[in-house]
Amino acid sequence: MCRAPARREASGHDSSDSPDRGAAMIDVARLTKQYGAKTAVDGVSFTVAPGRVTGFLGPNGAGKSTTMRMVLGLDRPTAGSVTVNGRAYRDSPAPLREVGALLEARALHPGRSARDHLRWLAASNRIPVARVDEVLGLVGLEAVAGTRVGKFSLGMGQRLGIAVALLGDPPVVVLDEPVNGLDPEGIRWVRTLARRLAAEGRTVFVSSHLMSEMALTADHLVVIGRGRILADCSMPDFIAEHAASFVRVRTQGGQVADVLRGAGADVTPVDGELHVQGLDAAAVGELVGDKGLYLHELTLVRSSLEDAFMTLTASSVEYTARDGAELAGATR
List of residues contacting ligand ATP (CB under 6 A): 35, 38, 40, 58, 60-66
Across-strand partners of 39? 34
Comparing CB distances to ligand ATP, the nearer of 62 and 163 is: 62
Q: Cβ 131 to ligand ATP, closest distance in Å?
A: 30
Contacts for 36 with CB less than 8 Å, ≥ 6 apart: none
The greatest distance separating any two alpha carbons of the chain, rounded to the nearest whole angstrom, comes to: 77
How far apart CA 301 and CA 164 sit, in angstroms, is: 41
Q: Rounded to the nearest 10 degrees, what angle do helices 154-166 and 184-199 cross at?
A: 10
Using a 10 angstrom Cβ sphere, with 0-12 exposed, 13-18 middle and 19 or more buried, the burial of residue 16 is: exposed
Comparing CB distances to ligand ATP, the nearer of 84 and 222 is: 222
Query: CB neighbours (10 Å) of residue 72?
Result: 19
Comparing CB distances to ligand ATP, the nearer of 63 and 168 is: 63
Q: Cβ 158 to ligand ATP, closest distance in Å?
A: 15
Across-strand partners of 301? 246
Q: Cβ 53 to ligand ATP, closest distance in Å?
A: 19
Alpha carbon of 78 to those of 6, 23, 149: distances in Å?
Answer: 20, 27, 36
Could you report how far apart the first and last alpha carbons of the chain are, in Å?
27
Q: Cβ 35 to ligand ATP, closest distance in Å?
A: 3
Comparing CB distances to ligand ATP, the nearer of 230 and 279 is: 230
Comparing CB distances to ligand ATP, the nearer of 64 and 220 is: 64
How far apart CA 109 and CA 76 sit, in angstroms, is: 26
Q: Cβ 60 to ligand ATP, closest distance in Å?
A: 4
Q: Cβ 217 to ligand ATP, closest distance in Å?
A: 17
Give the 3-state secondary structure of residue 45: strand
Comparing CB distances to ligand ATP, the nearer of 69 and 115 is: 69
The pairs formed by 129-133 with CB atoms below 8 angstroms and a separation of 24 or more are 131/167, 131/168, 131/169, 132/167
Comparing CB distances to ligand ATP, the nearer of 87 and 226 is: 226
Contact of 111 with 150, CB cutoff 8 Å: yes
Q: Cβ 103 to ligand ATP, closest distance in Å?
A: 10
